[in-house]
Amino acid sequence: MIRRAITIAGAAALVTALLAPAPSSAQTRMTAWGEPDISGYFTQSQTVPLQRPEELGEQEFYTPEEAAERAARRMAPPEGPPERNRGTNSDVHYDFDQFGLSGFQNEVATNLRTSIIVDPPNGRMPALLDAARERADARREARRGREFDGPENRSLTERCIVWSSTLPPILPGGYNSNMQIFQSPGYVVIQAEMGDPRIIPTNGEAHAAGDLQQYNGVSVGRWEGESLVVETTNFHEATAWRNSGPNMKVTERLTRIDDDTVEYRFTVEDPETWAAAWSGVYPLARIDGPIYEYDCHEGNYGIANILAGQRAEERRQAENGQ
Amino acid sequence: MRHTRFSFLIAAVSAVVALLAHVPEAPGQGFRTEIPRMPDGAPDISGVWQALNNAHWNVEPHVADYPVVLELGAQFAIPPGQGVVEGGEIPYLPEARAQRDENFANRLGNDPEAKCYRAGVPRSTYMPYPFQIFQNTGNVYVIYQFAAAIRNIHVGGVREAPIDTWMGWSNGNWEGDTFVVDVTGVNGVTWLDRAGNFTSNQARIQERYTLIGPNHMEYEATITDPTIYSRPWTIRMPLYRRIEDDFQFLEFKCVAFSEEILYGHLRKPPED
């Protein structure tokens, strides 16, 4: 089933809304206990990339015509069967189309921006510091030659421990880029479909757990006018989201724009990883629920087959005297 | 005269302030002195709750027993339990009881909990770990610490499960001050405890949550599954509010801890 993207007319209005100051209280939907209502089911899927194509420089927006053309290309089903390159992953991977996981098969929010990142002004992530490169090199070195020895040498994604697109800042992923926001007095729960539910207390008080690290970090929220501001720290050093370190701090800001849209704005700060803080913004578009249970670990045949395949290859090599 | 009017004014203002201030307390923040209610009058069952019994070992009555791995000693021995099943025993049909006994004999390798699989309903309620209920004037949302399992309880919902899942599909309704949840679409792979008690994917479960005090809730679950039980049967237990003012729901991502059980046989053998 092919779904439509939000029309460009709506997208232009959306960009205007994203540029405009926060809506007034008179227009904002409120919960029964008097907070701005940002709850619902949403998709993060975008036609806009995280980083701006370099050739665009500081051009922040496409014209409506350019954006329409990009959206049409993004939403067009492929003309033929997917290319199968023998001996590569794509040769053996299941066909995403069969399961409705391909990009053109899902709801997507489109807007006129050229990138999700808006700061630095070139729309691209700041340079990685040497300290971060060294940490990444050390991790790679520790596994060299042992990448398939056991499950702990595989990635957190392959092990179904963490999908990085579901960590704060939540970004569009390859598929299942959906989320649920559930609001109740004193708490907002944000659950990206392939991730854990994040419990965010909204009283602005820091947690008692001190230095305890968590894969999803530790989040504290507070209301600022119409926006929920969430600060997350205490990331587990194994997470290393985009080569970050355990002292990364992510600030998210969620603001309802209209009945169908919540603006998701974020800032990433990690002086041990990037030369500067960087920020982005994109719209969350309302979708019909439910979000289905994502049982990655319960159905993880992938990692068993990867390890079994490597053991079979080693046996084959041993038998051939290699 | 002036003094009396002033006192009356203060009393009136205090009354108004008290009315306006009747916003539900943020849950999970300590001991409650009265049964909380939502703005629409429904009991507020939100907060962090935990069972305090040994039903997670075995929902039927049982004496203390050896740990499943002897080398773990008394620390991991099975504590006794008076059981939470109304009437004592689960009314299995004969073939199902045989399956339960086989589950028990093979529990070391086969208990889905050891594999960090979601514990399902109702087992998740009485795992020895906290869970948090979030309630707004519409729906209810529950997060269980073990494996971060989630349940969306659709209040007023009538839809049957679109698909079988580990945590099932839940429709909730208020019957007076009791929150009644009808669960369908369970996958029949979860167990009911560490002793191999189980349901099939034909099970229909009705839970009843009733606040019996500001910090205590009575929990009942009735399981109907004519493919494996001779009649519906019920478990019942109190749930206790976690009253620490600074309680924090910590991550319990157990996948890494289950990998030896699941993939240990696929490790690279040590070099000779």
B189-234 pLDDT, tens digit each: 999 999 999 999 999 999 999 999 999 999 999 999 999 999 999 9
Q: Say which residues have a Cβ less than 8 Å from residue A228's Cβ, sequence separation at least 6.
A: A36, A38, A188, A200, A202, A221, A222, A252, A253, A254, A255
Q: Could you tell me how far CA A313 lies from the centroid of its own chain? A: 35
Taking the Cβ of residue A128 and every Cβ of chain B, the question of whether any pair is shorter than 8 Å is answered with no
Q: Contact A184/B136, CB-based, under 8 Å?
A: yes
pLDDT at residue B92 above 70? yes
Note the pLDDT of residue A83.
65
Range in A223-227, A281-285, B91-95, B135-139 the model is least confident about: B135-139
Note the pLDDT of residue B164.
96
Residues of A in contact with B118 (CB under 8 A): 293, 295, 298
Buried b (16+ CB within 10 A) or exposed e, A202-213: beeeebeeeeeb
Note the pLDDT of residue B101.
98
pLDDT at residue B10 above 60? no
pLDDT per position as a tens digit, A128-176? 999 999 999 999 999 999 999 999 999 999 999 999 999 999 999 888 9
Could you identify the residue written with the tokens 């699941």? B262
CA–CA dist A2, A106 (Å, integer) = 7
Q: Contact A161/B256, CB-based, under 8 Å?
A: yes
pLDDT per position as a tens digit, A291-316? 999 999 999 999 999 999 999 999 99
Residues of B in contact with A307 (CB under 8 A): 263, 266-267
Note the pLDDT of residue A174.
81
The answer to whether B228 and B94 have CB atoms below 8 angstroms apart is no
Q: Contact A196/B25, CB-based, under 8 Å?
A: no
Taking the Cβ of residue A130 and every Cβ of chain B, the question of whether any pair is shorter than 8 Å is answered with no
Q: Contact B150/A191, CB-based, under 8 Å?
A: yes
Question: In this structure, what are the phi and psi dihedrals at residue A304, rounded to the nearest 5 degrees?
Answer: -65, -45
Residues of A in contact with B28 (CB under 8 A): 186
Closest residue of chain A to B28, computed from CA coordinates: A186
CA–CA dist A223, A5 (Å, integer) = 31
Higher pLDDT, B243 or B12: B243
pLDDT at residue A69 above 70? yes
Note the pLDDT of residue A75.
78
Q: Say which residues have a Cβ less than 8 Å from residue A128's Cβ, sequence separation at least 6.
A: A243, A273, A274
Q: Contact B251/A214, CB-based, under 8 Å?
A: yes
pLDDT at residue B71 above 50? yes
Closest residue of chain B to A314, computed from CA coordinates: B268
Closest residue of chain A to B253, computed from CA coordinates: A161
pLDDT per position as a tens digit, A20-30? 444 444 467 99
Q: Calculate the average pLDDT of chain B.
A: 91
Note the pLDDT of residue B4.
52
Packed helices A301-319 and B255-263: angle between N→C axes, nearest 10 degrees: 40
Question: In this structure, what are the phi and psi dihedrals at residue B218, rounded to the nearest 5 degrees?
Answer: -95, 130
CA distance B44 to chain A (A): 10
Dihedral sign for Cα atoms in the order B53, B55, B59, B62: negative
Q: Calculate the average pLDDT of chain A.
A: 87
pLDDT at residue A36 above 90? yes
Q: Contact B165/A182, CB-based, under 8 Å?
A: no
Note the pLDDT of residue A99.
81
Q: Contact B152/A180, CB-based, under 8 Å?
A: yes
**A70, containing H or E segment:** helix A64-75
Count of CB pairs separated by less than 8 Å, A with B: 125
CA distance A205 to chain B (A): 10
Note the pLDDT of residue B157.
82
CA distance A10 to chain B (A): 29
Pick from B38, B45, B46, B134 the residue to mutate for testing the A interface (most A CBs within 10 Å).
Answer: B134
Note the pLDDT of residue B272.
67
pLDDT at residue B167 above 60? yes
Note the pLDDT of residue A61.
95
What ipTM score was computed for the predicted complex, to two decimals?
0.89
Range in A175-179, A204-208, B228-232 the model is least confident about: A204-208
Note the pLDDT of residue A182.
98
* First vs last C-alpha separation in chain A: 50
A23: preceding bond cis by omega (within 30 degrees): no
Pairing outcome for strands B233-241 and A227-233: unpaired
Note the pLDDT of residue B22.
42
Higher pLDDT, A68 or B1: A68
Closest residue of chain B to A147, computed from CA coordinates: B268
Range in A45-49, A255-259, B146-150, B179-183 the model is least confident about: A45-49
Q: Say which residues have a Cβ less than 8 Å from residue A133's Cβ, sequence separation at least 6.
A: A243
Q: Which of residues 25-54 of A touch B (CB under 8 A)?
A: 31-34, 39
